[in-house]
């Protein structure tokens, strides 16, 4: 018998955590998928330093999942923690919550695991001792008597994102993680449709599907579209510009690669400025996921200061790539807008290769950032970006590929889960019967 513990991420976008239990009547074995953080809940309290807080404090703030539901019964063993991909809303609470399951091994693709290790390293409250294993796509890992897990290659806005298949005697439980169906990713990553079809044939007992953008009545554009948007600006009009500054997600390695390619084509040097850009590209480079030729990344406060001074004196030779697309306090672009580090002004164009994450706090920060940049005469070009999340028609296609017996929509506010449920009904499912809209802290028992 299979249970889905919808621990967290079922009432918000953020702090994702789900668990899947298989019981043979005697004992239940459980696999946890993801342990994420909700930055929003940290941001509304000004003085929060995550690294120094305890699990209980962060749970009280609503910043990390409340996993108490997993501790209640006796005859239950958590046998594995699987991480779908390296975004913080999926791995950011690992240093706080993995200690609840000591010795339980953590699995993920190499890029994900390396990022998770970084989280563990910077933790200041807990010491995390769980073993952490890098897993390859295709590999099937037997994690307990009854359960094996498998990572399936999928496309998202970070490298090596995976769907996780949990093989049980009752059938497969497939957790999508975050995904889109991108057939034209410039870096070559592609969904493993073949394996998905095979799983569909084997028999998917439960599909646990993210639902962030299920309300968009279309197919999500390929990353190739973002590349086209950037090239269409930079390689034509951009050639006439002096200072060029791009900002995007530090973990969005494809996007960064495109920007580096563009800089090369323009005959400019790409300079990545900011701690998190250095972190994500550093690990990516190590794994061969990005080619930094023609680019350099600076990290330490001194190096940042020095390089920005250098750039400001010959702006036409560089393409700056900086943090701060959400107007985050302390990010490089935010500090520039405050008149620090670089005299940003009329000679500069800022390209936002990112949307505003829909949340009043981000809207306010972006508003501050843009107002300040506008007052300095900076030109801004927004929305040269595409989403990393599947839209309604991608979700429909996945359902048709897998033909799952049951569906549990995940990763979204209640209204997103219900939108997914409506889609499932269009495909012949019935709410309460084989598609289950759940809430944080509930258990869905699969009939």
How far is C-alpha 425 from the geometric centre of its chain's CA atoms? 28
Nearer to its own copies, 86 or 191 (CB): 191
The C-alpha atoms of residue 168 and residue 144 are separated, in whole angstroms, by 10
Task: By CB under 8 A, tell whether 228 contacts its own copies.
Answer: yes
Stretch that binds its own copies, among 103-111, 161-169, 218-226, 317-325 (CB under 8 A): 218-226
Stretch that binds its own copies, among 80-88, 148-156, 166-174, 382-390 (CB under 8 A): 382-390
Q: Cα dist. 33→254, 273, 304, 314 in Å?
A: 25, 33, 37, 48
Among 381, 387, 403, 405, binds its own copies (CB under 8 A): 381
CB of 310 to its own copies, least distance (A): 27
User: Is 325 annotated as a binding-site member?
Assistant: no
Distance spanning both ends of the chain, measured CA to CA: 8
Please report which helix (H) or strand (E) contains residue 202, including its range: helix 193-202
Task: By CB under 8 A, tell whether 62 contacts its own copies.
Answer: yes
Task: By CB under 8 A, tell whether 445 contacts its own copies.
Answer: no
Question: Which residues lie closer than 8 Å to 280 by C-beta, 6 or more apart?
Answer: 115, 250, 251, 253
Task: By CB under 8 A, tell whether 236 contacts its own copies.
Answer: yes
Task: By CB under 8 A, tell whether 194 contacts its own copies.
Answer: no
Q: Indicate the length of the chain as a whole number.
A: 447
User: Is 67 annotated as a binding-site member?
Assistant: no
Task: By CB under 8 A, tell whether 103 contacts its own copies.
Answer: no
Region class of 378: left (phi > 0), else alpha (psi between -120 and 50), else beta: beta
Task: By CB under 8 A, tell whether 371 contacts its own copies.
Answer: yes
Among 291, 299, 397, 405, binds its own copies (CB under 8 A): 397
Report which DSSP code applies to 221: P
Stretch that binds its own copies, among 65-73, 122-130, 151-159, 367-375 (CB under 8 A): 367-375
User: Is 100 annotated as a binding-site member?
Assistant: no
Task: By CB under 8 A, tell whether 170 contacts its own copies.
Answer: no
User: What ranges in 98-137 are assigned the alpha helix state H?
Assistant: 110-122
Per-residue 3-state assignment (H helix, E strand, C coil) for 70-101 = HCCCCCEEEEEEECCCCCHHHHCCHHHHHHHC
Task: Give the annotated binding-site residues.
Answer: 85, 87, 89-90, 156, 178, 385-389, 411
Task: Give the annotated binding-site residues for Zn(2+).
Answer: 85, 87, 89-90, 156, 178, 411
């Amino acid at each position: 018998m299979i249970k889905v513990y919808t621990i967290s991420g079922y009432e918000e976008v953020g702090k994702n955590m789900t668990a899947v239990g298989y019981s043979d009547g005697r004992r239940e074995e459980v696999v946890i998928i993801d342990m994420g953080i909700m930055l929003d809940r940290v941001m509304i309290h000004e003085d929060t330093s995550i690294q120094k807080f305890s699990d209980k404090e962060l749970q009280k703030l609503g910043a990390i999942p409340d996993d108490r539901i997993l501790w209640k019964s006796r005859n239950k063993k958590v046998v594995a923690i699987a991480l779908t991909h390296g975004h913080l809303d999926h791995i950011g609470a690992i240093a706080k919550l993995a200690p609840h399951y000591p010795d339980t091994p953590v699995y993920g693709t190499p890029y994900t695991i390396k990022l998770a290790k970084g989280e563990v390293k910077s933790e200041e409250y807990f010491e995390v001792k769980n073993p952490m294993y890098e897993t390859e796509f295709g590999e099937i890992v037997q994690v307990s008597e009854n359960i094996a897990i498998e990572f399936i290659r999928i496309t998202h806005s970070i490298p090596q994102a995976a769907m996780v298949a949990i093989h049980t005697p009752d059938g497969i439980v497939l957790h999508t993680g975050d995904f889109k169906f991108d057939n034209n990713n410039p870096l070559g990553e592609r969904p493993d449709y073949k394996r998905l079809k095979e799983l569909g044939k084997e028999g998917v007992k439960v599909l646990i599907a993210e639902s962030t953008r299920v309300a968009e009545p279309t197919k999500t554009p390929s990353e190739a579209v973002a590349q086209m948007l950037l090239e269409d600006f930079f390689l034509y009009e951009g050639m006439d510009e002096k200072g060029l500054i791009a900002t995007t997600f530090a973990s969005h390695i494809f996007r960064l690669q495109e920007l580096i390619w563009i800089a090369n084509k323009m005959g400019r040097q790409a300079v990545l400025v900011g701690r998190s850009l250095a972190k994500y590209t550093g690990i990516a480079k190590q794994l061969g996921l990005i080619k930094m030729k023609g680019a350099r990344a600076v990290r330490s406060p001194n190096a940042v200061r020095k390089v920005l001074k250098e750039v400001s004196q010959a702006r036409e030779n560089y393409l700056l790539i900086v943090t701060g697309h959400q107007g985050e306090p302390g990010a490089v672009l935010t500090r520039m807008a405050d008149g620090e580090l670089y005299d940003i002004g009329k000679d500069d164009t800022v390209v936002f290769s990112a949307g505003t994450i829909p949340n009043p706090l981000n809207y306010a920060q972006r508003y501050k950032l843009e107002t300040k940049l506008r007052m300095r005469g900076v030109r801004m070009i927004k929305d040269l970006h595409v989403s990393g999340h599947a839209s309604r028609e991608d979700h429909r296609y996945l359902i048709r590929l897998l033909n799952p017996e049951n569906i549990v929509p995940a990763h979204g506010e209640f209204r997103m889960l219900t939108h997914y449920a409506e889609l499932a009904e269009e495909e012949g499912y019935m709410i309460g019967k084989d598609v289950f809209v759940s809430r944080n802290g509930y258990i869905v028992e699969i009939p």
